[in-house]
Chain A
Amino acid sequence: MEHIRMPKVENVRLLDRLSSRKAVLGTLYLTATHVIFVENGSETRKETWVLHSQISSIEKQATTATGCPLLIRCKNFQVIQLVIPQERDCHDVYISLIRLARPVKYEELYCFSFNPKLDKEEREQGWKLVDLTEEYNRMGVPNNYWQICDVNRDYGVCDSYPTEVYVPKSATAHIIVGSSKFRSRRRFPALSYYCKDNNASICRSSQPLSGFSARCLEDEQMLQAIRKANPGSDFIYVVDTRPKLNAMANRAAGKGYENEDNYSNIKFQFIGIENIHVMRNSLQKMLEVCELKSPSMSDFLWGLENSGWLKHIKAIMDAGIFIAKAVAEEGVSVLVHCSDGWDRTAQVCSVASLLLDPYYRTMKGFMVLIEKDWVSFGHKFNHRYGNLDGDPKEISPVIDQFIECVWQLMEQFPCAFEFNERFLIHIQHHIYSCQFGNFLCNSQKERRELKIQERTYSLWAQLWKNRADYLNPLYRSDRSQTQGTLHPQIAPCNFLYKFWSGMYNRFEKGLHPRQSVTDYLMAVKEETQQLEEELEVLGERLANLQKSQLGDNKVKSKQQDRSKQLGLSTSNNSLANTPQEYSNDLKSFPSRSPSQGDEEDSALILTQDNLKSSDPDLSANSDQESGVEDLSCRSPSGGGCLPSEDSGKDSDEAVFLAG
């Protein structure tokens, strides 16, 4: 709290992103964990809550006649434009936010103060929801070819790896240790995915320290061991996910890649995915396109192409497809690495696993996948997503890209995933929010030292509790696209990659279809199920009644009640939307009463409950399709809830961006 110079500022205006005419007056509050804007006056007292962890950058713009503008950009792509009347106040808020958004100690993060009012046991249970040992067992290891290795039990061999990794049976401790000395950051080859149908596997590591001519017997033996663990193939692929030029440049620094001459029976392959700096810039450029005011189609498409973003997404996907093919169709094991084996390697291994194994397309399986390939294998969450203030050059949207790959796949295979788009968006949100302890620090070792599991809560438990919100109504485990390997079209396929406006324009409600098909179908499904159950009950009753030969009046009245229950009707006033500003030419003509327009404006503003109530509610946002927003289920103190970005709210009007 000592960083807050001004906890409260009044008469602040919150602007609509594009239409500066649509401003809302309210009060700005700064707390230890959030920035909160509360609208004045109106009965609903809409609130916008932003976690400090979500703040990516703050820009103080030139003072105008109306006040001093402050632009807050968030890591979840929300952009908030405030106008603070006094320049001095604005400056104080600016300075405070700068400090608040850049914590120096972990203890400053929200997860250490977040209290969902669960007891110790429930917290523990939450952390146990995802169990990696169980997962490896499900895959089929340990077995004749693969064993658990505890050589890293005190993080003595590699401090960014977990304590337990799986290695080939023929890899002795000596080989492992030797290999680790020959790998960047000592990240030796370890198992990521095992395919029990054909014994092919996906292993991951970092680059070898081969320079121009160095060799290491143990490392070569390690790769041999991987090959031997798959009797069905006499070679393995070694996939370097860097562009060839970068990999070669690394040789000058004493690192590099595997020489096919030195490593027997490997087929080496470059699959060029650019590095974290390129990706950071790419995202930056794409967000600039998103911030354009009333762009033409041309501005948008050129901007998107110049950012290169979709090209990168496709590159990651192509790598995953290559590996999945090698494993499923050729039955050949693959060793994947990049430079340090914690960014591109993680992306590519998890995409490949998703393509190969339908389990990872279930909700639980997806959580397990992230836990395995990202969390346990030491992806540097802190550095990449800025939990704490750090080197801006380490920041990069690595996991965002993986999450987008999943979305792109969901668009191509609508029935293949048990979860829906909202699941992905919420996960991305919480990777940056630091509300839960899953994505803190840079390695398992750091998390254990901080005793994360004893001091914070697990996101997985929260999501699991609300899994009804995250289901994909089209998912059925017996559909052809749900089973087995997914085969995305390879070429031509450029057009298959779409701009994910649900993520990058998440808070611009005017952009999205007002009616959520997913929610509607889920409601339909639920209702059908309820009806079926009721039918069963009624059927039994009828049978009983028939036996005892009573009248059937009771049965009839029950049937009439159910039609009111779910309110599936989509054709009510909640669908009304406002026109965009299609033209400036209409302004001079007398228009209808302005009050109509104002009521209809809804939000860029995120809704959460009134500050006063004090019991936080873990339930993540529940969307409604019948247009009635139930504010009571929201967490007041900014607890477990998420902003209701896709609620067809009762005031129902979409805010359109100026045309």
Chain B
Amino acid sequence: MLRSSQPLPGPNRRRCREDEALLGAILDEGERGFIIDTRSAQAAKQARMTGGGTESKSSYPQWRRLHRPLERGRPLQESFVRLVDACSDPSLSMDRWLGRLESSRWLSHVKAALSTACLAAQCMDREQCSVLVHGAEGTDTTLLVTALAQLILDPSCRTLLGFQGLLQREWIEAGHPFHVRCTHSAYSHARLKQEAPLFLLFLDCVWQLSRQFPFSLQFGERLLLTLFDNAYASAYGTFLCNNEKERSLCKVKENTHSLWAWLSQPEEQQKFLNPLYSHNALVIWPSVEPQSIQLWQGLFLRWIRPSKHLDEAWAEIQQLVEKN
């Protein structure tokens, strides 16, 4: 699986031999590959006008392009804000709740993200084809898809350390601009141009996986909530800046502590482990039917709904397993 940003044929349909050679080198003679473009066909076409575009069939004959539009940017932030509003609206009656939930479209985005990741995984696992994923910039929905696909395919990404490695690789080092994406979250009135909860969407998808496969992830909801918190505001330098270059310029490694280091301390690590975990060497294929995708109550209702009873239940589960 590969990721990149969009090619730049532009309005004149330029070609680039090196790019074509690079993609050609990945596939053997006669082999086919898939390109998953996270923009709609329309949007991708329009991108040509501003210098971007897509891989044309004639230039990249071995690659088949699939479009799976995933929401990003301002609309995604709006979706997030609307969802949080719906959850915390005390006057909302039951007969309008689901409509409000739906009109935020958040769950639709979760479904779309999971579906696309599953598609990428399916191409690799079932079709045995290579996959190239890109959107426009290659820093948002692209990473969402590649990271999720790896969780689905690769059991080593589902361990605590493996997951941290996945985050480090596919989000942090790959250059997801955390600094501009995770600034004010949902309550702020300032609608910043660059703000968008892609990382939260990713965490939500991971939570859906953990719900559908309760034994297959070595970590639990608590880790996901902690990551969410730290992406926005953190005592650690892990999520600072927008890319490796900036981190190097700011000397992040020299001046801050790493979140992973803190997490790897045994007392801390214990809290984040899933007591039900048992290594599952197989691919996990989630159901993306609407009934299977649920609202992540632990995050969106975190401060609204008392978690006492559920915490008790988890403590009980922990106890049962430990006793054994």
Q: Which residues of A contact B (CB under 8 A)?
A: 290, 295-302, 304-305, 308, 310-311, 314, 412-416, 473-474, 476, 479-481, 489, 491-499, 501, 505, 510-511, 513-515, 517, 520-521, 524-525, 527-528, 531, 569-571, 573, 575-580, 582-583, 585-586, 589-592, 654, 656-657, 659
Contact = CB atoms under 8 A, between A and B. Distances in A.
Contact of A497 (B94, B216, B278): B94
A575 B215 CA distance: 10
A586 B297 contact: no
A544 B287 CA distance: 56
Interface of A (DSSP majority class): loop
Nearest to B106: A297
Given A492-B89, A495-B297, A657-B289, A302 B99 contact: yes
A596 B121 CA distance: 17
Contact of B324 (A505, A511, A514, A528): A528
B128 to A, nearest CB: 7
Contacts of A489: 305-306
Interface string B97-139: 1110110010110010001001101110111110000000000
Nearest to A295: B290
Nearest to A583: B119
Nearest to A498: B294
Nearest to A301: B102
User: How many residues of B sit at the interface, in one of the four size bands?
Assistant: 35 or more
A615 B313 CA distance: 41
A499 B280 CA distance: 29
10 closest residue pairs by CB, A with B: A300-B290, A305-B98, A414-B313, A301-B102, A494-B97, A579-B285, A297-B108, A501-B291, A311-B94, A528-B324
A505 B291 contact: yes
B287 A302 contact: no
Given A295-B290, A576-B282, A592 B107 contact: no
Interface string B281-324: 11111011111111101001100111011101100110011011
Nearest to B97: A494
Q: Considering residues A479, A480, A496, A659, which has the most beta carbons from chain B within 10 angstroms of its beta carbon?
A: A659
Given A310-B98, A479-B316, A528-B320, A589 B32 contact: yes
A479 B87 CA distance: 29
A573 B282 CA distance: 8
B173 to A, nearest CB: 28
Contacts of A476: 316
Given A474-B317, A513-B213, A492 B92 contact: yes
B212 interface: yes
A589 to B, nearest CB: 6
Nearest to A576: B282
A570 B278 contact: yes
Contacts of A473: 320
Contact of B290 (A299, A415, A515, A591): A299
Interface in B59-116: 64, 66, 87-90, 92-99, 101-102, 105, 107-108, 111, 115
Contact of B99 (A305, A499, A583): A305
B122 A586 contact: yes
Q: Considering residues B122, B215, B291, B310, which has the most beta carbons from chain A within 10 angstroms of its beta carbon?
A: B291
B115 A415 contact: no
A505 to B, nearest CB: 6
Contact of A591 (B99, B127, B288): B127
A515 B215 contact: yes
B179 interface: no
A479 B101 CA distance: 34
Given A297-B293, A414-B312, A659-B115, 15 more contacts: A295-B290, A412-B309, A479-B312, A510-B287, A511-B291, A514-B213, A515-B213, A528-B320, A528-B324, A570-B280, A571-B279, A571-B281, A577-B285, A579-B118, A654-B287
Contacts of A580: 118, 285, 287-289
Given A511-B287, A524-B321, A314 B313 contact: no
A308 B98 CA distance: 10
Contacts of B108: 296-298
